[in-house]
Amino acid sequence: MPSTTLDPVLATKERLVEAALQLFYERGFHATGIDMILTKANVSKPTLYKYFDSKDALILAALRRRDDFVRRWFISEIEQRATSPAERILALFDVLEEWFQAPDFQGCMFINATAEYAQHNHPVHQASAEHKRVFGQYILTLAQAAGAVTPKELSAQILLLMEGAIATAHVSGPALVAQHARKTAEVLLSYTTTSRQDSLNH
């Protein structure tokens, strides 16, 4: 996933969100103080509170920005690499491998957020869960289009592989993680989809 640098010409609110996003991803949410964000964004504390009434509000804005960026980037990369639904499911793991190799890879920001905000009713936890749900819908549409006999089951299995690969790459390093997950996905596709079997036979 390409990294972003803070553009000095961004509007003040945008600079705050981008600065917070970068720091939250690099350092974590609780470890990132407001003063660090103000310094990176080069704005004053009164200016911050003009736009955001709390740190949680800024976290939610950063998560929304990350959600939009991640989904657009992942889906664009997947669809550039493959055309058939089954091959796009496999391409997901190729995209993961590229992301894992990025020098600023710090795992999934949404998994990290739910670890720091463990209460399911907390807005930060809910926003992170919604990101996973929406991305899961995309995988479900691919599973349906691929001819899965039980598309919900297949999409859930693919998502488990994806989340497990992200966590493993973050904890233990990226070597071969995405390739192992991809091979497992190939087995799942070969047993659960008609279109994948057809493509293998041609």
Phi, psi of 172 (to 5 degrees): -110, -10
Q: What are 64-109's pLDDT values in tens digits?
A: 999 999 999 999 999 999 999 999 999 999 999 999 999 999 999 9
Which residue type does 196 have? R
pLDDT at 48 (0 to 100): 93
| 127, two tokens | 């926003």
Average pLDDT (107-117) is 97
Whether the pLDDT of residue 198 is over 80: the answer is: no
Q: Which amino acid is at 103?
A: P
For the chain, what percent of residues have pLDDT higher than 70? 90
In the prediction, which pLDDT does 82 show? 96
Q: pLDDT tens digits for 87-98?
A: 999 999 999 999
The one-letter amino acid at 147: G
Mean of per-residue pLDDT scores for the chain: 91
Over residues 175-187, the pLDDT tens digits come to: 899 999 999 999 9
DSSP reduced 3-state for 148: strand
Task: Give residue 40's identity as a one-letter amino acid code.
Answer: K
The pTM score is 0.86
What is the tens place of the pLDDT at every residue in 29-64? Answer: 999 999 999 999 999 999 999 999 999 999 999 999
pLDDT exceeds cutoff 50 at 9: no
R_g over Cα of the chain:
19
Cβ(92)–Cβ(74) below 8 Å: yes
Q: Which domains are assigned to the chain?
A: 62-200 (1.10.357.10)
Residue 202 pLDDT: 47
Q: Which amino acid is at 74?
A: F
pLDDT tens digits along 137-173: 999 999 999 999 999 999 999 999 999 999 999 999 9
With 70 as the cut, is the pLDDT of residue 4 above it?
Answer: no
